[in-house]
Amino acid sequence: NAGVTQTPKFRVLKTGQSMTLLCAQDMNHEYMYWYRQDPGMGLRLIHYSVGEGTTAKGEVPDGYNVSRLKKQNFLLGLESAAPSQTSVYFCASRRSNQPQHFGDGTRLSIL
Amino acid sequence: RKEVEQDPGPFNVPEGATVAFNCTYSNSASQSFFWYRQDCRKEPKLLMSVYSSGNEDGRFTAQLNRASQYISLLIRDSKLSDSATYLCAVSRSNDYKLSFGAGTTVTVRA
């Protein structure tokens, strides 16, 4: 049982490049989330999804887009990467009123 | 005011000591409460859910005080391996999102 799997684990980008982070969960969870975590800032919610085909903005959505075409996958896209998006990105999933389960993170550096 | 607030610490304690810290939440409609543990540069991992009557898991005890709107975590007989950042998380009934505190850092020294 893999739980929540994020790919890639590490990536270095140049400013202006684009990329997609993939999150996959095998627990049949309805809700999925993308967070970023910066030193001293705690977890900040970027976007989330309450079901297949639906997405919503979190507290820091600018510069990111998401898609949830399949229930088990939640993709986070950076269309034009900026140095301010250097961070650790965590995906999570859950059922209603249950705790969240996190992936092990993607460390993204933008030069 | 942030929805969930924690004392960032750090709490520096010797092995074997007891350490306790709180997490306050602002929304009285909050219904689900959790403690997570996060090691440096790793993902948060669920430590325990917090139930109305309080609950214990080994050396860890969680309490909920609805009147004062806070949850607490107590660690007895601290081990070096307990050194981590502890995040609290809160959600309202049928809310899609968990609100996380910024974390309390605990360092256990030999």
For B64-79, write each residue's pLDDT tens digit: 999 999 999 999 999 9
Q: Do A108 and A46 contact (CB within 8 A), yes or no?
A: no
Q: Which residue of B has its CA nearest to A90?
A: B43
Region A81-89: mean pLDDT is 97
Residue B92 has pLDDT above 90, yes or no: no
Mean pLDDT of B13-19: 97
Ranking A23-32, A54-63, B7-16, B85-94 by mean pLDDT, the lowest is B85-94
Query: How far A99 CA sits from the closest chain B CA (Å)?
Result: 7
For residue B43, the chain A residues in CB contact (below 8 A) are: 90, 102-105
Q: What is chain B written as a DSSP string? A: --SEEE----EEEETT--EEEEEEES-TTEEEEEEEEE-TTS--EEEEE--TT-EEETTEEEEEETTTTEEEEEE-S--GGG-EEEEEEEEETT-S--EE---EEEEEE-
- Cα A74 from Cα A48, distance rounded (Å): 9
Q: Which two tokens stand for residue A44?
A: 């900040």
CA-derived radius of gyration, chain B: 13
CA distance A22 to A70: 12
* A 54-73 near B (Cβ less than 8 A): 56, 58
State the pLDDT at residue A1: 59
Cβ separation A99–B103 shorter than 8 A: no
Sheet strands side by side (includes A64-67):
A4-7, A19-25, A73-78, A64-67
Considering CB atoms only, which of B32, B43, B103 is closest to A103? Answer: B43
Residue of A100, A108, A109 best to disrupt the B interface, most CBs of B under 10 A: A100
User: Closest partner residue to B102 among A33, A42, A96, by Cβ?
Assistant: A42
Percent of chain B with pLDDT over 70: 99
B70-75/B60-65 β-pairing: antiparallel
What pLDDT was estimated at residue B84?
97
Angle at B26 between CA A38 and CA B84, to 5 degrees: 40
CA distances from residue A48 to A100, B32, B47 in whole angstroms, order as listed: 12, 19, 23
Task: Please check the confidence at residue B41 and state whether its pLDDT lies above 70.
Answer: yes
> What is the reported pLDDT for B96?
81
Residue A21: both structure tokens together: 């982070």
Interface test mutation site (partner B, options A48, A49, A95, A102, max chain B beta carbons within 10 A): A102
pLDDT band at B58 (very low <50, low <70, confident <90, very high): very high
Are B34 and A99 an interchain contact pair (Cβ–Cβ within 8 Å)?
A: yes
Q: Does A90 touch chain B (CB under 8 A)?
A: yes
Chain A residues inside the 8 Å CB shell of B41: 88, 105, 107
